[in-house]
Amino acid sequence: MAQLVQVLVKTPAHSQIAGSLSYLSEQILSPGTLVRVPLGQRETTGLVWEDDSGASASQPAAEKLRPIGQAFNMLPPLSRQWLKLVGFAANYYQRSIGELALAALPQQLRELSPAQLLRRLKRQETQHPASQGSVQEKPPALTTEQSSALAQIEAGLGPFLLFGATGSGKTEVYLQCVERLLEREPQAQALVLVPEINLTPQLESRFSARFGAHKVVSFHSGLTHPQRLKNWLAAHQGSARIVLGTRMAVFTSMPSLRFIVVDEEHDPSYKQQEGARYSARDLAIYRGHIEGAKVILGSATPSLESWYHSRPQQEGGRYQKLFMPSRVGDGGQPPLVRFVDMNHQPKNSVFSPPLLAAIQARVERGEQCLILLNRRGYAPVLHCTDCAWKSECPHCSAFRVFHKVDRSLRCHHCGFTERVPRTCPACGNPDIRPLGRGTEKLEEHLNELLGQVLRPDGTPVCVARIDADTTRHKGTLESQMARMHAGEIDVLVGTQMIAKGHDFRNITLVAAVNVDNALFSSDFRASERLFSLLLQAAGRSGRDAGISKNSEMWVQTFYPSHPLFEALKKHDFPLFAFQLLKERQQASLPPFSFQALVRAEARTQETAQDFLLAAGELGAGSALALGVTIYPAVPMSVQRIANIERAQMLIESPSRTALQRFLLGWHTMLHDLRQGPRGKGLVRWAVDVDPLVI
């Protein structure tokens, strides 16, 4: 007898299919089973869902029910904990369950039929038998602080906030936690999250050296579709014991998950900014709760939310704080922080004379330097000296960046690129000049300034650059990193890509230029991000105990007495966090309140704002009853991208529960509003819960 089965398919949140669809099945299918189902004129992959999951099933008449095509019986069903994770994420972040659940699966898995997948599995078993490679690396002796942290993790339930200075050996704590777990439970699994793709290879090499490559798989955007599918199958079937990956890896199916690490937990890269705007860090905490897995959040500069949650339990804290303030190695100490007051330096100088002399001295001694500027390209804008023309993007409310290497003007928002004009497009003046500076210009300028400087062996200085432009091609980032570790590069210029997670042993000087903009930003999180970036960058200097006494961090600024720099000079994150949390509490900002943004995109700004205005009117009564504040609609900071106007409206509440109750009831109103007259001309709308950028 045919069974009624609820199936999720991949549909966006704004579609009419928001929940599960009903199908008929001749066999009993467990929740979590992958199936092929007819959808309109095509066949697609779906996921069998639980009837009481909270998904609003679309129930057609009995005679219109269609049968399920085939089931992926060669794969174990996805676990109930995994289904619960996806259901929670979809509800909390106001997304379609089908959209989130199917997007969490490898694209190639969604495209293959059961027969094709079965052939793929048999071929992999034949061509790539499971290796039993031996472990190569033996664990080093632990410091007192590392041993103490391990003991507390073993004894406690967590979640844990591992607050450790850069170079204090947090990665070794992760490794030994996983090692002890696998000794107790050989079939257990561990998930290790990193914020960016460039940190994955070096961490994977350390875990592979310790546990054997056959036990470790990775997930990041640099993998091909076949590689992603192969690694997912290894994790889902349990042959992979350790999964390393960026934010999307938090949804990896791991039936025996017992341990989760979120390294550099403060990093904003853990928040997905497109599509389903989820926070991988927060979902890792929730997943640890439902899976019974211990969770460690590690950082030298924790997010203020995590720091606030790690206050004493009697004060309402939820995390257990672990301290590792000292660097590994005898005499290892943090770098001396020096500030250059640019008010007293030659006008328009990029590098102050004292900083330039310090860089030259390091190169002549055979040491390495790192120069941080968080802006790629040659210059952020070109301008005309006669008519004040600037290189605005015709499709965005932003300037196109000048890239000298290929003589192009490139918009970093929509990608629109043109050759640099020979004369001003507005008045014909041939004198058009770059304004400001990016990493490309910094690299060129350093080559000019250090052109006569020689290394100890008499060879010329080598200046290199690492940013999104120089690492676009596969393998370029790894090759540049290898050159840096081999000592071939003397001065490395780069963006935030080089400021965190890397273990450069011969760097004794880190310099940050052009950092003042964040001090007076309208974004209330800007100072938090700046302090984190500078302290993380400082941690690249003096990581070898033998040279740590000579390590320095130089900061060029027009405001050397700013409180942020005072805390940076002392390497005192607790002081900085105390000051900033006090300000946040006075202003009722997160973590003392909870926020959501409703964003609307349309062909005109008036249409986008009118939709948000109508949405605010519909939700006003419910918001008043729940104590939720709806702020007026305003244009986004970058108002237009690719000829689409963008506006947003902030929703705020002192209670997370009240905010979620409001959003749950309001979501249906937004769907109905989109179909009405005031939704005409709207391109799309989306809700962003716990936004990082306002």
Structure tokens at 410: 């490139």
Q: In this structure, are residues 514 and 373 in contact, taking their beta carbons and an 8 Å threshold?
A: yes
What is the structure's pLDDT at 61?
Answer: 58
Give, in order, the Cα–Cα distances in Å from 70 to each of 27, 40, 62. Answer: 10, 17, 20
Q: How would DSSP label each residue in 541-552?
A: SS-STTTGGG-E
**28: CB partners within 8 A, 6+ apart:** 3
Q: In this structure, are residues 613 and 597 in contact, taking their beta carbons and an 8 Å threshold?
A: no
What is the structure's pLDDT at 472?
Answer: 80
**Which parts of the chain register pLDDT below 50?**
53-57, 129-131, 133
What is the structure's pLDDT at 548?
Answer: 74
Give, in order, the Cα–Cα distances in Å from 361 to each of 23, 333, 372, 452, 485. Answer: 73, 21, 18, 13, 20
Query: For the segment 56-90, what is each residue's pLDDT rounded down to a tens digit?
Result: 445 555 567 888 888 999 999 999 999 999 999 99
Q: How would DSSP label each residue in 357-421?
A: HHHHHHHHTT-EEEEE-S--SSBSEEEETTT--B-B-SSSSSBPEEEGGGTEEE-TTT--EEEPP
Structure tokens at 553: 């961090």
What is the structure's pLDDT at 1?
Answer: 66
Tally Cβ neighbours within 10 Å of residue 543: 23
What is the structure's pLDDT at 62?
Answer: 58
Domains, the chain, in order of start with CATH, read: 3-115 (3.40.1440.60), 144-324 (3.40.50.300), 336-376+438-586 (3.40.50.300), 391-435 (no CATH), 594-689 (3.30.70.100)
d(CA 77, CA 134): 31
d(CA 28, CA 9): 19
**562: CB partners within 8 A, 6+ apart:** 519
* Count of CA atoms in the C-beta half-sphere (13 A) of 393: 26
What is the structure's pLDDT at 276?
Answer: 84
Report the DSSP pairing between strands 21-25 and 66-67. Answer: parallel
Residue carrying the six token digits 């130089």: 554
Helices (H), 404-557: 439-449, 476-486, 526-538
d(CA 562, CA 584): 18
Structure tokens at 306: 């995590």
Helices (H), 156-273: 170-184, 200-211, 225-237
